[in-house]
Chain A
Amino acid sequence: MAETKVTTRPRPASRGRRRAIARRAGASTARGSELWTAALFIAPALALYILLMLIPFLNSVYFSLTDWNGATLAKNFVGLANYAEMLQDPQLYEAFRNNLVWIVIGTVVPVSVGLLLAMIMWSTPRFALVFRTLFFLPYLLPIVVVGLVWNWIYHPLYGVLNSFLELIGFDYLTRGWLADGDTALYAVLGAAIWSAFGFVTVLLFAGLQGVNTDVVDAAAIDGANWLQRARYVVIPAIAPVLTLVTSITLIGGFAVIDFIIVMTNGGPGNRTSVLGFYAYNQAFQRNSVGYGTAVSILITVLSLVAAVVFIKLREGGRERG
């Protein structure tokens, strides 16, 4: 290491002289050693990050402007043709619609459930930590396992969902949940929500720890009921965390692929195809690398726009409120 030659610097005797030297003569060498250290410390992480994050990211912009099929040497530049094609692609529209459903339900349900559970745990602290541990468990599960287990829950013959419906007398509702085009998307969403709500709960519960209980007490003394205290005191106090959790869920919703691959592979038909899955499908299964990459750029833009718009709306709402 380069430091070894710096250690041979003579060590001055008295404390006062040491400081003086550090200030005067040592200043430039110490500064040089600092810069060297900084460069050496950052270089490996930065090199890897540039090579495997930034270059692929820039390449995705480049690929999206070509008609590359992944096999030929030459990548023909086609300008914005891929983006123009997207405007007239019914399968893309279907994926987009499914993705919107996914984002709306997949954000609203976990955030509302998480908020409800976090506030209950916060106001009835007995066993709160036990429940926190419990609710957090699904988040630790690999999506492959979540998908497999929910496949079984939705199993047309043996699944617990159909058994439960029969038990309570709703036999006519039973079906193969993932094979039925009308329910498949919602069934996959159910599994995704199950695996995410605990994460949301834990984050909101952590946010609630910073809320000043005196204010809540004061509201209670003033006669505010549980719902009013939640609506006017607690939720505004955790608004930043709530915004953050919601934007994490939103961004994740635009990029979702794994649940779809594991549970339905886009089917039946394209009924569970979402944008990420469509990009994956075009690039890796149909060799339309250029087009698939253009779809992935669309996802990036949409998710960033959604996150920014949401945060702006929240800030605007807070200023007015």
Chain B
Amino acid sequence: MASVGAPAEHTRMFSPLHRRMAATGSRYAILVLFGVITLYPFILVVSTGLRDPVSINVNPFALFENIRLATISDAWTLGGFGGYFKNTLLITVPTVAGTIVLSTMAGYALARIQFPGRNLIFFTFMLGLMIPFTSIMIPLFYELIDLGLFGSVWAVILPGIAGSAGFGVPLGIFLMRAFFQDLPNELAEAARVDGATEFQVFRKVMLPLAAPGIAVLGVLVFFQSWNQFLMPLLYLPGEENRPLSTGLYIFASGRVQDFELIAAGSVIMILPVIVIFLIFQRTFVKGVTAGALKG
């Protein structure tokens, strides 16, 4: 990272110190301005989500007029966000697990086993990265009804794994294939010479080496599955399986004036993603950049 400073360091030799300071100052001013624009909506949600409903009628969006943690627990119990949270987990965990398992296996085969039609299969999967959800949302609706999945959590989990909503196996195979291609061949060869089967080579040698790639894919799919809105809106209309996204949307449309509960529900929804992001930040950023840049 230090080498990035090189151009700025050199300029110092050629321009007066005060000019350089003014330039640096204005650059930081721009960064701080956008920082404030970035942060304000977050502060607004957190502050409103921690407010006492009694005080909300005067100016609902005054920042941190009072702090009442019970508003969050009110949203969890009275607002029903606890149930939505559970449903979101029930959708996200299988989606992430399924995407990881299927993409790792397929990505491995496409990267390291020679067989006829390999490129064709790979490009077929990559087609999925170019088909927007809008293009398939209508037929998928009727297909899920025909399959008897409509209204159950599987109506969101399975299309999620399949890649209908933009994450899932097309993205996963793309990332994992690239990852497996970069792994050295010697270890796998040595294991094969020692009599390991293809499955053992995969399971005992390659899979442990692929852990960083799996982590990247995992966080990427996690946050997109957690946040997804359109598939639950279209394919999970009932209350019992409703996740946080549509739960919050329907709650907010019905109880427009309950600002503090809407905000508290939002806090409940975004907190896990922010926490995981702050813990796995490098993995996250790597995933997002790799997911986009390698395409």
Q: Which A residues are within 8 Å of any B CB, using their own CB?
A: 1, 3, 6-7, 9, 11-12, 15, 18-19, 22, 30, 33-38, 40-42, 44-46, 48-49, 51-57, 59-60, 62-63, 70, 113, 116-117, 120-125, 127-129, 131-146, 148-150, 152-153, 155, 158-160, 194, 197-199, 202-203, 206-207, 209, 213-214, 216-217, 220-221, 226, 229, 241, 244-245, 248, 251, 254-255, 257-258, 261-262, 276, 279-280, 283-284, 289, 292-293, 296-297, 299-300, 303-304
Contacts and interface: CB of A to CB of B under 8 A. Distances in A.
A279 to B, nearest CB: 6
B140 A303 contact: no
Contacts of A123: 7-8, 27
A273 to B, nearest CB: 14
19 contacts: A33-B197, A37-B197, A45-B125, A52-B164, A54-B124, A121-B31, A132-B285, A136-B277, A136-B285, A141-B273, A142-B227, A149-B266, A213-B7, A220-B7, A221-B10, A262-B249, A280-B137, A289-B142, A303-B132
Nearest to B276: A140
Interface string B135-156: 1111111110000000000000
A145 to B, nearest CB: 5
Contacts of B277: 136-137, 140
Contacts of A159: 61
B136 A56 contact: yes
Q: DSSP class of B's interface residues: helix, strand, loop or mixed?
A: helix
Contacts of A134: 35, 38-39
Contact of B173 (A45, A63, A125): A45
Interface stretch (B66-74, B75-83, B100-108, B210-218): B100-108
A142 B248 CA distance: 11
Contact of A148 (B5, B248, B292): B248
Contacts of B285: 132, 136, 202, 206
Interface residues of B, number: 110
B181 interface: no
B184 interface: no
B197 A262 contact: no
A123 B2 CA distance: 11
Interface in B156-202: 158-159, 161-164, 169-170, 173, 192-195, 197-200, 202
The list of the 9 closest CB pairs from A to B, nearest first, reads A59-B139, A255-B132, A52-B162, A142-B227, A41-B109, A56-B136, A37-B198, A41-B105, A45-B102
A148 B266 contact: yes
B249 A144 contact: yes
A116 to B, nearest CB: 7
Interface string B239-251: 0000011101100
B143 A55 contact: yes
B109 A37 contact: yes
Interface string B201-236: 010000000000000000000010011111001100
Contacts of A284: 138, 141, 234
Contacts of B135: 57, 60, 255, 296-297, 299-300
A53 B134 contact: no
